[in-house]
Amino acid sequence: MLGVIVLAHGSRDPLWRAPIESVARQIADRDASALVSCAYLELCEPDLATAARDMVAQGATRIRVLPLFFGMGKHAREDLPQRMADLAAAHTDTAFERLPTAGEDPRLTALLAKIALETQA
C-alpha cells in the first residue's frame, strides 16, 4: 500500500498549515487508495517519524515523502536525508522515497511564473 507524507517546516500558527493540508487533501482526492498525511520538521505535529510509523501501522509498504520546501536549504540538504535514513533503518520492510523539494520541480516554477504574469480580473 502506498503512503504519501507531505512534509513542511512547521509553524506555531495553525493558519500556516492550511496550504500544506490542502496539498494532502488533493493527493487523497486523486488516489483514494493512498494513505496521506502531513508531517512537520518542527514547531507542530506530527513529525516525520510519527507520520511514517502511523502509515506503516496502517499497512503502508511504500512511503513517498514530498518536501514542500522551495529551496535546497539546510533542512532539505542535510536534515531530511538523515531523517529518511533513520526511517529506512526503523522500518526495514517499508520502501521510502524522498521526492525532490517542491522548488526543484520545473512545473511548479513555471506555474509560479505564469501566475505572476496573469492579468487579474
Which member of 1, 5, 9, 86 is catalytic?
9
- Distance CA(110)–CA(12), nearest Å, equals 30
Measured from the Cβ of residue 76, the count of other Cβ atoms closer than 10 Å reads 22
Strand order in the sheet with 35-40: 35-40, 2-8, 62-67, 95-98
Asked if 91 is an active-site residue, the reply is no
Q: Which residues are catalytic?
A: 9
